[in-house]
Amino acid sequence: MTNTQLTLVQIDNYGPWTVTPEPRREMDLQTLQSRLFADLAQFVGHRGGYAFFTRFDNMVAVTNGLDLDDHRLLQESTGNRYPVTVSLGIGVDPNPAVALERATEGLQGAGSAQDGDRREVLSGTPVTEPSGDDVSIAHFDVNDATEKYTDQLNEFDSFIQIEQGYAALMRYLREEHGGLSFFVGGDNIIAVTPDMAVADYRAAIDHVEETVGVDLKVGVGQGEHAHAAGMAAKHALEECRHHGTAVELGGAAGEVESE
């Protein structure tokens, strides 16, 4: 059974900082945000985790495999290298939405994101007894996005199609299962999911097709941490391409179930 460990990464007092002493150049803010995300992705990725940029001032990471010392090091290293600091809330639960809720409560309980004196909070407790199926990753991909969109439409109209698919999927998985979906570029969406059956994924894909006409496939994998689960998911997605299937579940042990 899944036991997802999520970390909410929140830049401390960022709103006021962006306009103090006067509004800062937008491209400087974009550079800071994307570099901070790149560093977070690298830090977490080297320890088997996944990081998602979400809104950039708040980012979400799957941190199974990272302990409290790892989190403290991330805060120290960020504070040393950036003009901003980060607070980190950790939450653990079989259901990813509940895990994020717990992670969020820890930070909200310590004060507002815009409290000048709420800095470098570290709350929550990491997983104590890891197991091989703690993390479930579902890697979604739009079918023939290159042929249907990239090679046919201008970039903005392609982007609208992909974003519509993302919006429909993220809402459906959040509401029906507590799964959290993140756009990761191109036509790819990675979801952190609870235990779900092939038929559940099939229903999600059907819902997106019926509501916005975007055609998805998905590979799903489990692992002790996000990297292992995500690699199993990528291999399962290749199985979809190979067999022409919409859903492939590549379990932790590599068994494959499809529809």
Ligand X SMILES: Nc1nc2c(ncn2[C@@H]2O[C@H](COP(=O)(O)OP(=O)(O)OP(=O)(O)O)[C@@H](O)[C@H]2O)c(=O)[nH]1
Residues 106-125 within binding reach of ligand X (CB under 6 A): none
Q: Which is nearer to ligand X, 186 or 254 (CB)?
A: 186
Q: How far is the CB of 204 from ligand X (least distance, A)?
A: 17
Q: How many binding residues for ligand X (CB under 6 A)?
A: 14
State which residue, 141 or 224, has the beta carbon closest to ligand X: 141
Taking the complex as a whole, how short is the minimal distance between the CB of residue 113 and ligand X, in angstroms?
Answer: 28
Residue type at position 226: A
By CB under 6 A, residue 141 contacts ligand X: yes
Q: Which is nearer to ligand X, 187 or 200 (CB)?
A: 187
Contact residue for ligand X among 40, 142, 232, 246 (CB under 6 A)? 142
Residue 151 engages ligand X in binding (rule: CB under 6 A): no
Range in contact with ligand X (rule: CB under 6 A) among 6-14, 23-31, 140-148, 251-259: 140-148
In the complex with ligand X, which residue's Cβ is closer, 125 or 146?
146
For residue 10, give Cα distances in angstroms to 1, 37, 108, 195, 204. Answer: 29, 11, 11, 28, 30
Q: Least separation, in Å, of the C-beta of 159 and ligand X?
A: 12
Interaction of residue 241 with ligand X, rule CB under 6 A? yes
Residue 145 interacts with ligand X (CB under 6 A): yes or no: yes
| 221, 250 Cβ separation under 8 angstroms | yes
The first and second tokens of residue 224, run together, are: 């002790």
Per-position x/- string for 185-214, each x denoting binding to ligand X as judged by CB under 6 A, each - no binding = xxxx--------------------------
Asked if 137 is part of the footprint of ligand X (rule: CB under 6 A), the reply reads no
Name which position in 143, 211, 245, 258 contacts ligand X (CB under 6 A). Answer: 143
Query: Residue 174 or 234: which CB sits closer to ligand X?
Result: 234
Q: State the residues that interact with ligand X by CB under 6 A.
A: 141-147, 184-188, 234, 241
